Amino acid sequence: MRLIEFLLSPLIGFIAEVLTNLWMNLEKLPLPFLVSRTGYANPRVRRISGWTGYWAHTFRLTIPNIRKWMKTRGDLFPLVIQVQTINRCNAACDFCPYPYTVHLQDKRVMDDDLYSKIVDECVREPGLLDFVPMSKNEPLLDVKMEERIREFRSKAQPHQIVELVTNGSALTPVRAKRLMDAGLDMITVSISAANEETYNKVMVGLSWKQVMGNLEALSRENLAKMNVYLRFIKEQGNRKELSVFRKRWKLYNLFNFNVNNRAGALRGYEMKVIQHGDMIERLKHMAGSRIYPACPYVFSSMHILENGDVTMCLNDWADREVIGNVRTQTIREIYNSPRMKEVRELMVQGRYEEIEACSGCSFYHEWLKPLEVRERLELAEPITG
Ligand code: SF4
């Protein structure tokens, strides 16, 4: 087994790297059929289509900065920035730590001056590709969301995308039209079920009928300018419904991914995660650690809280490490602070266990950790949420 792995590992890594390079450049290839069924008249998002387009988009937003840093150890600017304009959600989804993390904070809304300061720096930076005015919240609870999107769009460089992820409960026809008019390029609606019973178990606190009604109404709108994705987060409780979900919503772009433990913040993760056989797990490690020689989150993305705090990783719902504040510092300063550089260096040396958030993170344990480290540290036991 070990010998086979020893021989297979470079091959798997090589194939993974070739495919990733191809994938990243998909939109540059002469593939006229690769046009999204929504957002097809918007040059920023028209080539982001289906499952393949989603991953191509993800790779474009994650890989270039890691490669640049591995070569130069130079300064970086995030390729994607998420801004939490309000720290509230109206749901308590099974795969989300919101009820026992963000929900425990006082309700707060980002003030306009701070938001404008963030936007003004982002639009000066051509390296910023994707601006997402939502994080760890339901963005449509912010009554100023359309205004905020309009502000970004009016100042942004032509290639910069503005994107939202929502649970869809407030995505009424009126609201959808206002978001499109404001210049929203792409919206992802989180569904994760194919029937009402499962929906009520997974997307706790929301109404299936209301969200389905909103999606039906949205499908009758002119979606030429706005790309729409529906997202399915796969876990034990809904895994059998993915194929029905795919058939039901062919008119939108779809993608799915497996539940992750949000850097250890998600409770009961081991009961939710879908376990694969040992061979699949080992293949994941071989490919994952080759595609990402370090975790993309701290090389490519930034998460700004409503009070201006910037945490080390947007995947860490417990906000364990605040590395700066955009009220008093620039995004560029924070992203290239001594601590961020130290974290990146620890990661390329494989020393994730020394970073508090990473040490319990399923992304690290299931994808990034090289097999020999996994075995040496004997950390193959389940990760607790
Ligand atoms: S490994 Fe660390 S940086 Fe990467 S997602 Fe997990 S907590 Fe974030």
Helix orientation angle between 145-155 and 112-124, rounded to the nearest 10 degrees: 30
Residue 3 CA: distances (Å) to CA of 12, 276, 331, 348: 14, 22, 47, 26
Question: In b/e form, how buried is each residue of 234-247, taking b as 16+ CB within 10 angstroms?
Answer: bbebbeebeeebee
In degrees, to the nearest 5, what angle opens at C-alpha 51 toward C-alphas 190 and 69?
95
Quote the ligand 1 centre to 306 CA distance (angstroms). Answer: 21
What does 177-216 look like in DSSP terms, one character per residue? HHHHHHT--EEEEE---SSHHHHHHHSTTS-HHHHHHHHH
Ligand 1, atom 2, lies closest to the CA of 358
Using DSSP's 3-state secondary structure scheme, residue 163 falls into strand
Min mean pLDDT across 6-20, 34-48, 263-277 is at: 6-20
Nearest ligand 1 atom to the CA of 296 is 4
Ligand 1, atom 7, lies closest to the CA of 358
Global pTM value: 0.92
The predicted-structure confidence for 200-250, as pLDDT tens digits, reads as follows: 999 999 999 999 999 999 999 999 999 999 999 999 999 999 999 999 998
The predicted-structure confidence for 291-331, as pLDDT tens digits, reads as follows: 888 999 999 999 999 999 999 999 999 999 999 999 999 99
Quote the ligand 1 centre to 366 CA distance (angstroms). Answer: 11
Query: Does the pLDDT at position 1 exceed 60?
Result: no
Query: Does the pLDDT at position 109 exceed 50?
Result: yes
Place of tokens 């540059």: 28
Mutate to test the pocket of ligand 1, among 302, 361, 367, 383 (most ligand atoms within 8 A of CB): 361
| Backbone region of residue 303 per phi and psi (left: phi > 0; alpha: psi in -120 to 50; beta: other values) | beta
Place of tokens 């502000």: 151
Query: Does the pLDDT at position 199 exceed 60?
Result: yes
Strands 309-311 and 80-83: unpaired
What count of other Cβ atoms lies within 10 Å of the Cβ of residue 67?
11
Quote the ligand 1 centre to 281 CA distance (angstroms). Answer: 18
Q: What's the confidence (pLDDT) of residue 323?
A: 96
- Residue 10: pLDDT band (50, 70, 90) is confident
Using DSSP's 3-state secondary structure scheme, residue 239 falls into helix
Exposure of 1 in the CB half-sphere (CA atoms within 13 A): 4
Quote the ligand 1 centre to 262 CA distance (angstroms). Answer: 8
Nearest ligand 1 atom to the CA of 295 is 4
Helix H or strand E segment including 3: helix 2-24
Quote the ligand 1 centre to 259 CA distance (angstroms). Answer: 14
Ligand 1, atom 8, lies closest to the CA of 313
Q: Which backbone phi and psi does 101 adopt, to 5 degrees?
A: -130, -90
Q: What's the confidence (pLDDT) of residue 259?
A: 95
